[in-house]
Structure 1
Amino acid sequence: MQELIEIGLKKVLPGILLNQIAFYSLYKILKNNECIVDVAYTVSHFVAGSIYAYHFGLSSFENKFKLGLLALWTARLAGFLFYYRILRGFRDPRYEVIFVNYKKETFKRDVVVFGQYIFQGFIVLVTSSSLYFLFKNSLNPYQLAILGTSIFWIYLEGLSDHQLQSFKDQKNKAPDSICQDGLWKKSRHPNLFFDLMTWTTIAISSIKSKNDALALISPLVLYYVMARLTVPITEKLMKKKRGDKFTEYCSKTNKFLPI
């Protein structure tokens, strides 16, 4: 526990915050597109993982494999967000709601957004903490097999993102239409569920002793953020735009579980 705190505060947190500040600078360069914060979140996890990996050594094939899986998750999610959100100029209505009070006050808005980037950095420090245990421990074949299933979850998260994006790209669809294609038939947030499964898999596969159970803090905090912040804001906007149609969709569709 002491080593985790020491490495986290002295090495990982500075790296994360530098990455967050770099992405805030990109946010200003690209004309204040708040969606960049989601890309920063993803890349900051890779920064944290890289620091843990180099601290414990990358000489073994095992740790290279672990870092490769993290790179795969990062490249998939960050690449998707950057292409479909940033390059296409998409404006996320969730952030418009958050910053609506600062629409005409540029300086105050910039201060609040900068604070969001820094605060998110501290959240990443916690949600990436399972990576400390992942790179510290040498895993047995059973644990490596569990970790390997993360490829499956990464694929399904990508599939759900693709299905939603394909729905959004459809022309001539009704303004109040709701994506119910593929995985979205069974879950209102399948992409979040599979992302949570990825980090749960990382945490579980990293546990070799009772003390290592602290790795579970990562997916637990991630779930809390999803359940208490991301989902409520998203669904409030969906309800506002689609009314009773969205209420009906919620009544017959699970929030997370795609079953």
Structure 2
Amino acid sequence: MTAKRTPKRTLSLRPDPGGTVPETAMVMAAGIGKRMRPLTATRPKPLIQVAGQTLLDHVFDRLRAAGIKRAVVNVHYLADALEAHLKNRVKGVDIVVSDERDQLMETGGGIVKARDLIGDKPFVVANADNLWVDGPADTIKLLASRWDDDLMDALLLVVPLARAHNHGGLGDFHLDANGRITGRRKPGRVAPFVYTGVQILSPRVIQDWPEGPFSTNLFWNRAIEAGRAYGFVHQGLWFDVGTPPAIAKTEALLIDA
């Protein structure tokens, strides 16, 4: 595949929170939640409660506040419980379910399976186990205002490694002065930015995919190689709520938020 090269022009570093927010989001809710055991023995990870409500509800609060009208939600593990929650508890956003009961497709495969439901415009992707607190302005609106369709195929919300609460990794990406992702963390090294689980993707990335489950990393790698993958630094709080001990740590930090 021939990589599409980025035009040489400067990207504004001062996003306007009034930018147009995509109408559609894909919420990734199909994971098994192995690291969250034993809590996920009887419920899917997105329905684990943190600070008085489920992780899934935290995400939909943010989507609704940003003005997103429609969400495609993929389901696999304990899918009936997720669908019941979506039907009975999630209001103000039209929900379409992408059913992965027969096979868990991972992140990239999940997007491919849902491609006909997503549509042909840029869309937000949010992990259902993601928890963040806005900074001075709405995070998704800021991310959307940063989107430049002429320059980008992927725009990832990232957070500095030093502010990635509960995160045990060594970082994910390097950015240049314009926010372009210049590379990934190298083995034995530290990268300054961590992916938060929130991004905007162009449907252009959904092409030439392998059969079966695969990671979104395939699409990201192509966009990075073409110079069309960017990061936007989150200005608020972000929490990696991946294990049972992280719940109490997150709730303690949220008390002061």
TM-score in same-fold range (> 0.5) = no
TM superposition score normalised by structure 1: 0.26
Q: If each structure's strand is expressed as a fraction of its own residues, which one has the higher value?
A: 2
Larger radius of gyration: 1
TM superposition score normalised by structure 2: 0.26
Return the structure number with greater relative CO, CA threshold 8 A, min gap 6: 2
Q: If each structure's helix is expressed as a fraction of its own residues, which one has the higher value?
A: 1
